[in-house]
Chain A
Amino acid sequence: EAQVTQNPRYLITVTGKKLTVTCSQNMNHEYMSWYRQDPGLGLRQIYYSMNVEVTDKGDVPEGYKVSRKEKRNFPLILESPSPNQTSLYFCASKGLAQDTQYFGPGTRLTVL
């Protein structure tokens, strides 16, 4: 089954404790992206990647890092999480020649 998976689905952590949210897709998509969803703000793009070792900033990259060492994986790294990063995070992927993104199920992160 074609899908985008994220782990963990729920995470509660404390300020300053480094964490990684994983994202994996099995569709051989070149493009992958991370979004955060906040009430009243919709989804905002954090980072995107057009292929292995190619990443670029979206609208709200501050406080986040990403890496793209393999085509199927695109982890989101919070080196020193803060409470304002409490949010619902979505990973998405698509083929470069496609216009439609496929979204993962989301990761709900709470930073205390």
Chain B
Amino acid sequence: AQSVTQLGSHVSVSEGALVLLRCNYSSSVPPYLFWYVQYPNQGLQLLLKYTSAATLVKGINGFEAEFKKSETSFHLTKPSAHMSDAAEYFCAVSDRDTGNQFYFGTGTSLTVIP
């Protein structure tokens, strides 16, 4: 089975600072990769995904992520944090061949300090 590791269950950044949320996957074959955001008391919203096109993927709200096969990573970044970015972020993967089973990381809670 796949596994996803998100380093840092809690990340705090100052408003305007760089946001970096880390995600590493375990598969030897690059899977599909996703980042989701969950605002308090809400469901999950897709931020961006990597499915084999460009390795640098741009998503909504100014977020982007870079797929690095050599590092089995898919870290999420945003150049300048905004107060509205405070939320829980989940990295997820699914197998390329089936796409039926999804594996999520344990989540990173982002706090933005004014």
By a beta-carbon cutoff of 8 Å, the part of chain A in contact with chain B is: 31, 33, 35, 40-45, 48, 50, 56, 58-59, 90, 92, 99-101, 103-106
Contact = CB atoms under 8 A, between A and B. Distances in A.
B100 A31 contact: yes
Contacts of A50: 100
Contacts of B100: 31, 48, 50, 56
Nearest to B41: A106
Given A45-B102, A103-B36, 20 more contacts: A40-B9, A41-B106, A42-B4, A42-B104, A43-B90, A43-B92, A44-B104, A45-B101, A50-B100, A59-B101, A90-B44, A100-B34, A100-B46, A100-B49, A101-B46, A101-B102, A103-B43, A104-B43, A105-B42, A105-B43
A106 B44 CA distance: 9
A65 B111 CA distance: 37
18 contacts: A33-B102, A40-B9, A41-B106, A42-B90, A42-B105, A42-B106, A43-B90, A43-B104, A45-B103, A90-B43, A99-B49, A99-B94, A100-B46, A101-B46, A103-B36, A103-B44, A105-B43, A106-B43
